Amino acid sequence: MASWLPLVTRIRNIAEHACTSTGEDPFSHARTTLANPIERLLIAPYWVNYHAEHHLFMYLPCYRLPEAHRLLIEKGLIKRMEVRPGYLEVMRLATSSQRA
């Protein structure tokens, strides 16, 4: 338990589901975090940062999630999704007293 994995798992769980909607719209049940290369290396391998896309298309292979994200943007459906620009931004949101 004293390793990198529990910390990373906790950060990812917060990034994927904290402060998201539990309403009717399945596009808002999880968050996509646009990870930079360092975050991809240390926190989000295998495209796990495309978590909302994973919830929408559970049987899609992980390496196709970036393409699913691009297609959702092209179709204008990204507006219904929670997308944040990085893990630090998500951690700020989760620890903020004023959640927007």
Q: For the segment 21-30, what is each residue's pLDDT rounded down to a tens digit?
A: 888 998 989 9
pLDDT at residue 99 above 60?
A: no
List alpha helices for 1-100, DSSP H. 4-17, 37-42, 51-56, 65-74, 87-95
Rounded mean pLDDT, 91-95:
90
Query: Distance between terminal CA atoms of the chain?
Result: 33
Based on the number of CB atoms within 10 Å of its own CB, is 63 exposed (0-12), middle (13-18) or buried (19 or more)?
A: exposed
**The pLDDT value given to residue 31:** 94
pLDDT at residue 100 above 70?
A: no
pLDDT at residue 19 above 90?
A: no
pLDDT in tens, 46-91: 999 999 999 999 999 999 999 999 999 999 999 999 999 999 999 9
